[in-house]
Amino acid sequence: MSADMKYNDSLFLSCVSCPLKLYHLSHNRSERKPYLPFKQRNKLQLRDAVALRYKERKFTSDSVPEAASETELWLQSEQAAICGAVVKAGRFFTRIPILLKAGDELTVIQIHGRLMKRSHSGVINPPVYSRSTAGYLLKAAYRMEVLKRAYPDYRLKVELFFPDKRYRSSLDRLLQQVANANLARPHADLCEEIEKLFTSIEATKAANAVNGELPENISHRASAGLSVSEVMNRIETIDWSKRNPFDVQIHRECKNCEFRQPGANNKSDCWSQFFSRNAKRFPDHHIFELIGHGNDEDIERGIYYQEDSLISEYSNSFERVKKLTRGPITIQQRRDLQILAANEKRVPEVWIKPDELRFEKLQFPLHFIDFEAATYALPMNRGSRPYNQIYFQFSCHTLYEDGTLRHSEWLDDDPKRGYPHIEFIEKFSAIESIFEGTLIQYSPFESQALHKLLAELQRNSMLYEEKILTMKKLLYREGGPGLLRIFDLSRAVRDGYYNQFMSAGIGLKHVMRSVMQLQCHRDELNTNELQVYDKKIGLTPDRMHEVNYNIYTLLQHPEYSVEDGAEAMDAYISLKSNLLSPRESEIIPTLLRRYCAMDSYALVLLYKHLRYLSEQNADKYRVIID
């Protein structure tokens, strides 16, 4: 690591959770996105909203050196509220959401997304048992330490802001009002509303306690119990030539670590660099991806690879696993099969139970649907609470009995437009033949969304009488409530389908990947180009075995990407908040449309695969039809 290496909040926090993360982060700097991630922009918008309560607010520049100079200068005033303050102390620096100065007192203001009841005591006192609160305090403790070193003569305080759980917006389009506010002279109504939305908690004592002794529940054992200052001193002197100076071993924190799996985009691959990964037959099949119960017990015993998980005598062969229960395939049977496969025991290529698929319930045309929703602290319509769901996009692939496939889609892509639910309902109900046949979803999400939209309309039943009838026609077969028109394909997969490449959960993306690997293995992969919204993509059999192979990657722009639901949500919130550049406004809606179209198209591919297999003849070594 170079001697001029600088450490920011993120590097410090990563090092506390696992010292090896610091090693990987400092060797993967070029992997950062070349643009400010949308999630980050949306967080900054919340900071700007909270800043409205401080008259002396000033905003620093994006550039760290400029922001550091501005902070230094503005701290010479008697009173200041510096948004995005940058404070440096030696090789450490911190970017503070809002730094308040009043005389000889500096207050670190942090804004967090977790909903909080306003009936709290107003103070966080140590000891703190909640992991999330300890995480907020750790950030504050690091910031206090940098401030202490840079400005030793000041008294330091910490205040945390949270959206209030009981808040209901009394303004329409609060999100857009904040986005378009004149931050120099905001409207009084808006400031008042923001006062009501956020509640604050004094956290100085608790942050001081964390500063003196890092809590075990959020710290790697190499850092737990040390002070922030001790960890900072140690970071500066780490000798990485000793390879793994803190003798870090695989641990629970690895589960969500970006460096665990072999690297997409040339990211470090921690387990092969530092541990025994290369001695394993299936080094990419980790315990964290085993479904069902038993992972905690395995981790307690220090087992982290699927192939090392113990096989019980009742499930030491496929035949025994199959006999365990009749009816639907259970989660525990899936787990047993994952472990058998990882131990190179014979498992069938496919185990399918056509009766459990329940495809006899389907009526053409089949509408494969996918919705996207956003939740954000700033509501979009009067009467809404923070984090109320906003359905902003759908994609529907309609498959007719003669094999014709038609794609329909809609996205709320106009930043000037307000709350989008009425338009969502209008566009969705305008899909050709949507009131005929069956709607097919993956997970209960879409049917829950339609029920929520119906309930929302019913709160204004005089105004939306016609739309209420439309929604009921979308949801229910003739005959009324109880006869839903929606079929859950995830349930069909869960109860009636297994293939030997299912090495993780039964989420759509995992299942689709396993299906493509299976098709590749059986030489049945369709390598014709697929049309996904405006983009033609080709599947490449020679890459299917790669652990990070992801069909969604093929849909992206060279610079920008929207590869999962969370990224879609963040991109949408930035779009509605006017936080996209003109160039991004051209690119991002297309990426959102491709992403959602891929999700509904994946359902078509999955349905066709299941239909094809369930109509095959059984082959006792490859396809078990049960």
Nearer to ligand SF4, 24 or 609 (CB): 24
Least distance CB 229 / ligand SF4 (angstroms): 23
Strand blocks (E) in 226-307: none
- Print the SS3 string covering 470-510: HHHHHHECCCCCCCECEEEHHHHHHHHEEECCCCCCCCHHH
Closest CB to ligand SF4 among 9 and 202?
A: 9
CB of 98 closer than 8 Å to CB of 181:
no
Please, what is the minimum distance in Å from the beta carbon of residue 284 to ligand SF4?
13
Choose between 244 and 561: whose C-beta lies nearer to ligand SF4. 244
21 vs 57 by CB, closer to ligand SF4:
21
C-alpha of 423 from chain center: 26
| CB of residue 283 to ligand SF4, shortest distance in Å | 13
Distance set, CA 411 to CA 307, 388, 588, 590 (Å): 44, 18, 11, 10
- Nearest to ligand SF4 of 259, 552 (CB atom): 259
Q: Which residue in 249, 2, 29, 1 sits closest to 10, CA to CA?
A: 29
Q: How far is CA 17 from CA 220, 230, 418, 518, 590, in A?
A: 5, 15, 41, 38, 37
Instruction: Give whichever of 156 and 290 is closer to ligand SF4, judged by the CB atom.
Output: 290
- Residues numbered 245 to 304 that lie near ligand SF4 (CB under 6 A) are 248, 253-254, 257, 259-260, 270
In order, the DSSP letters of 509-543 are HHHHHHHHHHHHHTT----SPEEETTEEE---GGG
Alpha-carbon distance of 308 to 291, in angstroms, equals: 15
Helix or strand (DSSP H, E) at 398 = strand 390-399
Task: Report, in Å, the least distance between residue 286 CB and ligand SF4.
Answer: 10
**Listed ranges 18-26, 65-73, 471-479, 510-518: which one lies at the site for ligand SF4 (CB under 6 A):** 18-26
Classify residue 602 by its DSSP letter. H
- Closer by beta carbon to ligand SF4, 257 or else 506: 257
Closest contact distance (angstroms) between CB of 8 and ligand SF4 is: 18
> What mask, x for binding ligand SF4 by CB under 6 A, covers residues 222 to 241?
--------------------
355's tokens: 């009766």
- The answer to whether residue 24 forms part of the interface with ligand SF4 (CB under 6 A) is yes
Q: Does 21 bind ligand SF4 (CB under 6 A)?
A: yes
Residue 18 vs 231, nearer CB to ligand SF4: 18
Q: Of the two residues 182 and 256, which places its CB atom closer to ligand SF4 in the complex?
A: 256
Binding range to ligand SF4, per CB under 6 A, among 4-12, 16-24, 463-471, 566-574: 16-24
* Minimum distance of ligand SF4 from residue 275's CB (angstroms): 8
- In angstroms, what is the minimal distance from the CB of 49 to ligand SF4? 34
Minimum gap (Å) between residue 236 Cβ and ligand SF4: 20
Judged by CB under 6 A, the number of residues near ligand SF4 is 11
Closest CA to 411 of 303, 193, 562: 562
Phi, psi of 100 (to 5 degrees): -95, 140
Contacts with 8 (C-beta within 8 Å, 6 or more apart), sequence order: 92, 93, 94, 95
Taking the least distance from each CB to ligand SF4, the nearer of 20 and 512 is 20
* Residue 9 engages ligand SF4 in binding (rule: CB under 6 A): no
CA distance 338 to 288: 12
Q: Which is nearer to ligand SF4, 16 or 270 (CB)?
A: 270
Residue with tokens 């689709």: 512
For the bound state, the minimum distance from the C-beta of residue 21 to ligand SF4, rounded and expressed in Å, comes to: 4
CB of 253 to ligand SF4, least distance (A): 5
Q: Comparing C-alpha atoms, which of 380, 359, 361, 475 is closest to residue 422? A: 380
Q: Which residues contact 73 (CB under 8 A, 6 or more apart)?
A: none
- Write 181-188 long-range contacts (CB < 8 A, 24+): 181/48, 181/52, 183/48, 183/51, 183/52, 183/57, 183/59, 186/52
Distance CA 539, CA 515 (A): 12
Which segment (19-27, 56-64, 151-159, 342-350) binds ligand SF4 by CB under 6 A?
A: 19-27
**For the chain, the helix, strand and coil percentages under 3-state DSSP, each to the nearest 5:** 45, 15, 40
The rounded distance, in Å, linking the Cα atoms of 121 and 202 is 9
Query: Nearest distance from residue 421's CB to ligand SF4, in Å?
Result: 41
Nearer to ligand SF4, 251 or 451 (CB): 251
Strand pairing partners for 623? 350, 619
Instruction: Quote the least distance from Cβ 255 to ligand SF4, whole Å.
Output: 8
For the CB of residue 288, give the shortest distance to ligand SF4 in the complex, in Å.
Answer: 11
The least distance separating ligand SF4 from the CB of residue 375, rounded to whole angstroms, comes to 28
Interhelix angle 9-17/19-27, rounded to 10 degrees, is 140
The strand order across the sheet containing 198-202 reads 57-59, 79-89, 92-102, 105-111, 155-163, 198-202
Nearer to ligand SF4, 16 or 380 (CB): 16
> 18 vs 108, which CB is nearer to ligand SF4?
18
Binders of ligand SF4 in range 471-500 (CB under 6 A): none
Q: Which residues of this chain interact with ligand SF4, rule CB under 6 A?
A: 18, 20-21, 24, 248, 253-254, 257, 259-260, 270
